[in-house]
Structure 1
Amino acid sequence: MNTKRLSKLALLCGSFSALFSLTLISFHADISLIAFPLSLAFTAFFLFSSIKKLFSENKLVFISVVRELLQYLPYVLLVAFVFRRAGEYGTPFALDVISVILWLLASALTLVLLHYLNPKYISKVSGEWASFVEKQKAEKKNPASKSLVKSSVRELLSWIDALVQAVFMVLLLNIFIVQLYEIPSESMVPEFLVKDRVVVFKTLSGPKFPLSEVGLPYLKKYKRGDIVVFRNPHYSNDRKSEVRTFLSQLVYMCTLTKVNLNVDENGNQKADPLVKRVCGLEGEQLMMQDGILYSRTKDSPEFKAVDSDSSWATWNLNDVKPSLKSGIRDFPLRDSDYAEMLSVEEERRSLNLSEAASECKKIAASFESVFKKLPNSKKGRISFSDEQLDVYSLFINSSYLTASLLSSENGSVWFSDFMSDWCKGNPDFAGDLYAEANYRLNIMIKLVAGKMILRNAELYAQGLQNDVWQNDDMRSAYIAEAQKLYSYVMLLDLRNMPVFPANDENGNPRYIPENCYFMMGDNRFNSLDMRHSYDRWNAKLTNFDSYSVTYTSDMAPQYVSRSRMLGTTSYRFWPVSRAGVPGHTGK
């Protein structure tokens, strides 16, 4: 390699950079306007320094200048690439492809030029260049030839230069090859504890250039049980949010992980990205009941238990390894709570619907008897909203509900409908265990609520005061049963999941689309994952009862596209005592 050939390489590199700049031209009055002048100005300065000053005028002092510009060229062009796509309007895919190709060509030539401009190999270019570099080295070793101030400034600038280059190099590594993550929550306990640090391999997961769809091809085929890192689909995926995510990542690294600007519109830290386990695959329809995950496909239309899910799903943290317990901050359930939950599920499964129907009608008839005995001073007609039929409201406000029913003209009729409307039909659940379970749970709650209201009415008819009610043994027993059922309903959306994706309007199954997956955390009672929404609303327990009990729900399952998946957790390197390939460390 000689100076003539090297100058041609520098000119070619600058030409690719200039062509890249042309792809960044924007006519929109937003931040994208910055891209073209930034890229073009840096390219022009590089060409001026290298072609004119170094090669044409042979000013060898510019060797170090050109070398420094070459080190920053790929990074400056990448920043300009982001600025162009950070505006209100995007860029066509074809233009993104051209920009990326030109960036790759310019970056490749940069590496070649840097190789020959390295002081170790400068002698291969020119003897004159080699002598000049050796002279510079000698001057640097002679402290008398430079002032203390200049020496200190030069040292400081070299450190800043090294830091900035390291940040950009790490950024590229993070985008395309590998990234380190710290586990922020206990959703994956006992596999991962808070503050665990893991290595995530990205190359096979099709990483893309920032704010574009251009990048490496998807080579990874995820399987059930893979622990993956992915962008949180609960947050907006528009261009503005992606720009903020990219810049926050850059600031996060520049500040040595001390400043994280990745916040939502309310200023709260985003839970993004997420670390969860792949539990559902493309082509599957899922359902979870009593903690057991079921799936079916077009080729296997019957729901069958996913046996492997039980090997990592954790429901009772009290059973994990003693060595891990000290690192767990939150135990959602005590052993007694867990046993109580299982007893409710067993009671629900063994519920005799015929006997329950007879008991509901008997409660309604007894209430009507009390209703008729009370003075005929009833006024108005009553009806309760879905919010008033919430399981918590039914139990906590039973005294108010009783008084309202006894003082209304249609109180007895409404109560009879409430207790027995579900008896009119004979629903066919067609293998939907979730729908059947909630149907039965609705009946169990009505039986207890009905008994409470009936007992309240009997005590009211006797003219007893409220303080006497509090000591009534029958009411106390019903309240204890109500508390147990309410506690179970509080766990309902964490313990179970409806058929997902939901059947179409004609009842035909729908399946997770191609290249999409369903993720859950291992710590099922403490994982806000793809089962849940970040909003809450009042939902009916069953659609097979016009007077269904309601509860506060956040159940909104969704799958995640492969395009939002960043990679798989390949290795846990901290803490050292649990270092290794993630598996089922808590079991």
Structure 2
Amino acid sequence: MNIKKIQTLSFACCIFAALFSLSLFSFNADISLIAFPVSTIFTVFLAFFMLKKLFSDSNLAFIAVSREFLQYLPYVLLVSFVFRRAGNSGTPFVLDLISVILWLFACIFSLVILHYLNPKYISKISKEWSNYLELKKAERKNSANKSFLKSGIRELLSWIDALVQAVFMVLLLNIFIVQLYEIPSESMVPEFLIKDRVVVFKTLSGPKFPLSEVGLPYIKKYNRGDIVVFRNPHYAADRKSEVRTFLSQLVYMCTLTKVNLNVDENGNQKADPLVKRVCGVEGEQLMMQDGILYARTKKSPDFKVVESDSKWATWNLNAVKPSLKKGIRDLPLTESDYADLLSVEEERRNLNLKETSSECKKISDNFASIWKRTSNTKSGKLSFSDEQLSVYSLFINSNYFTASLLSSQNGSDWFTAFMTDWILKIPEFNGDLYSEANYRLNLMIKLLAGKMILRNAELYISSLQNDVWQRDSIQNENLQKAQKLYTYVMLLDLRNMPVFPANADDGSARYIPKNCYFMMGDNRFNSLDMRHSYDRWNTKLTVFDAYSVTYTTDMQPQYVNRSRMLGSTSYRFWPVSRAGIPGNTGR
């Protein structure tokens, strides 16, 4: 390689950098305005030092300066690319594509030039360049002997330069090739514990240039059971938040992982990205009941058990092997709690609707009899809000319900409707196990609440003292059952999931769209995943009962498009004792 060819390459590099700068020109009065001048000023300095000083003036003192500018060229242009797309208005895909192509050519030429400007090869370019290199070596040696301070400063600056370049190089590697993640929560226990570190390869997952859709093609197809890293869809994906994410990642690396600016509007650390397992794939409709995942497709319209899900879904952490259990910080349920949960589910499955209807009628008739025997002075008609009909309120405020019903004109009628209205029409569930289970659970709660209200009325009509009420064995037994039912309802949205995607209004099935996936954590009782919203609200336990019990829910399943997926966990390298390929190594 001779000087003339290197000069030609340098000219081409500057031309592509200049064209790239032109592609960043913006007419918007926002942050995108600074992209063009930043890129242009850098390109002008690059051309000045290389084309003017180094080659035109033959001032070999600018070899080192030219090398520095060439080394920073990819990073400065990339930051300018981000600034241009950080404004209020987006950029067309075609313009993004042109900018990326120009960036690639500028980077390729800069890398080739850097190769030949390497001290190992400079001596081969010309005798003049070789003599200059030897002269600089001698000068550095003499200056090091004369001034320890100057050499120390020069060494410090070289270390800072190396650090900054390393940060940007790692940033490029993180975007397009590989990234390391630290597990922040216990949602994937026992597969991953907090502080586990994993490697995620991104190249096959279609990584894109920041704030654009230009990038590598999607090659990776995810399968059920794959553990994936993906952007949290609960957070906004607008341009402003994406810029903040990119800059926070840059600061995070520049501060050697000490400063993380990736926070939400309230200043709380974002749970982004997430690490979960693929549990549903395109073309499926899912449902989970009693911890068992079901799926169906257009070709197989009946829900069938997803057998593989039981290999990684973990419900009782007390049963994991001791070596892992000692590393788990939070055990959501004790062995006794889990046994109670299973007993509630067994009771619900065995609930006889005919016997339940007879029992509900009997309770309402007995209450009506007591209502008639109480004072004829009744207040106006009552009604209860959905919040008052929550599971917690029904059980904890049974005394209030009893007093209100006995003293109201329509108390007996309302209680009869509450206990027996569901009997008029028992629905057909057609394989919807979730809806049927919640319907039955609703009846179990109403039956127990009815017994508690009736018992309160019986104690009231007997004119017993309050301390006798508190020692009543029947009511105490009811309260113990109420505690078990309430605890189960608290776990309801972690243990089950309605049909997802929900059926159309005409009842026809909907399926997870193409290139979309559904993810859950393995630690199902401690995983805020794609089953849940970050908000909570009060809702009816079943739509098939006008007087349904209500509960607080965050159930709002959603799937994730592959464009939000960053890659699969390929290897766990820390701790060394559990190093290996993740999959089902937690068992």
TM value normalised by structure 1: 0.99
C-alpha contact 1:116 1:124 (8 A) present in aligned 2: no
C-alpha contact 1:348 1:441 (8 A) present in aligned 2: yes
Equivalences for 1:95-494 in 2 at 5 Å?
A: 95-143=95-143, 146-494=146-494
> Secondary structure at 1:328's aligned position in 2?
coil
The residue identity in structure 1 corresponding to 2:271 is: A
Matched residues in 2 for 1:574 and 1:138: separation?
46
Partner in structure 1 of residue 6 of structure 2: 6
Equivalences for 1:507-526 in 2 at 5 Å?
A: 507-526=507-526
Matched residues in 2 for 1:500 and 1:302: separation?
14
> Secondary structure at 1:498's aligned position in 2?
strand
> Secondary structure at 2:119's aligned position in 1?
coil
> Secondary structure at 1:552's aligned position in 2?
strand
In angstroms, what is the RMSD of aligned CA positions?
Answer: 0.8
Larger CA deviation: 176-185 vs 124-133:
124-133
C-alpha contact 2:144 2:150 (8 A) present in aligned 1: no
Matched residues in 2 for 1:466 and 1:489: separation?
30
> Secondary structure at 1:121's aligned position in 2?
helix
User: Shift of the alpha carbon at 1:468?
Assistant: 1.7
The residue identity in structure 2 corresponding to 1:164 is: V
Equivalences for 1:8-87 in 2 at 5 Å?
A: 8-87=8-87
User: Shift of the alpha carbon at 1:146?
Assistant: 4.7
User: Shift of the alpha carbon at 1:144?
Assistant: 5.5
User: Shift of the alpha carbon at 1:184?
Assistant: 0.1
Matched residues in 2 for 1:320 and 1:201: separation?
29
Matched residues in 2 for 1:441 and 1:521: separation?
25
The residue identity in structure 2 corresponding to 1:257 is: T
Encode CA deviations 1:240-278: one digit per residue, 9 max, x unaligned. Answer: 000000000000000000000000000000000000000
Matched residues in 2 for 1:510 and 1:137: separation?
72
Encode CA deviations 1:567-586: one digit per residue, 9 max, x unaligned. Answer: 00000000000000002122
Distance 1:144 1:32, change over 3 A: closer
Partner in structure 2 of residue 535 of structure 1: 535
User: Shift of the alpha carbon at 1:138?
Assistant: 2.0
Matched residues in 2 for 1:162 and 1:465: separation?
82
Matched residues in 1 for 2:415 and 2:500: separation?
34
Matched residues in 1 for 2:354 and 2:296: separation?
31
Distance 1:470 1:180, change over 3 A: same
Matched residues in 2 for 1:144 and 1:568: separation?
50
Matched residues in 1 for 2:22 and 2:569: separation?
39
Matched residues in 1 for 2:208 and 2:327: separation?
36
Matched residues in 2 for 1:455 and 1:104: separation?
79
Encode CA deviations 1:454-476: one digit per residue, 9 max, x unaligned. Answer: 00011111122322211001100
> Secondary structure at 2:26's aligned position in 1?
coil
Encode CA deviations 1:324-347: one digit per residue, 9 max, x unaligned. Answer: 111000000011110110000000
Partner in structure 2 of residue 567 of structure 1: 567
Matched residues in 1 for 2:365 and 2:564: separation?
57
Matched residues in 1 for 2:284 and 2:584: separation?
24
User: Shift of the alpha carbon at 1:142?
Assistant: 2.6
Larger CA deviation: 458-467 vs 144-153:
144-153
User: Shift of the alpha carbon at 1:143?
Assistant: 4.2
Runs of 4+ in 1 over 3 A off after TM superposition: 143-146
> Secondary structure at 2:73's aligned position in 1?
helix
Matched residues in 1 for 2:426 and 2:461: separation?
36
C-alpha contact 2:54 2:62 (8 A) present in aligned 1: yes
C-alpha contact 1:230 1:275 (8 A) present in aligned 2: yes
User: Shift of the alpha carbon at 1:124?
Assistant: 2.4
> Secondary structure at 1:218's aligned position in 2?
coil
C-alpha contact 2:204 2:217 (8 A) present in aligned 1: yes
Report the identity percentage: 76
User: Shift of the alpha carbon at 1:125?
Assistant: 1.6
For structure 1, the 5+ residue unaligned runs are none
> Secondary structure at 2:348's aligned position in 1?
helix
Matched residues in 1 for 2:428 and 2:342: separation?
25
- Determine if the alignment matches structure 1 residue 504 to structure 2 residue 501: no
Encode CA deviations 1:199-224: one digit per residue, 9 max, x unaligned. Answer: 00100000000000000000000000
TM value normalised by structure 2: 0.99
User: Shift of the alpha carbon at 1:9?
Assistant: 0.6
User: Shift of the alpha carbon at 1:122?
Assistant: 0.7
C-alpha contact 1:139 1:145 (8 A) present in aligned 2: no
User: Shift of the alpha carbon at 1:145?
Assistant: 6.0
Matched residues in 2 for 1:219 and 1:146: separation?
59
C-alpha contact 2:313 2:523 (8 A) present in aligned 1: yes
Matched residues in 2 for 1:424 and 1:460: separation?
31
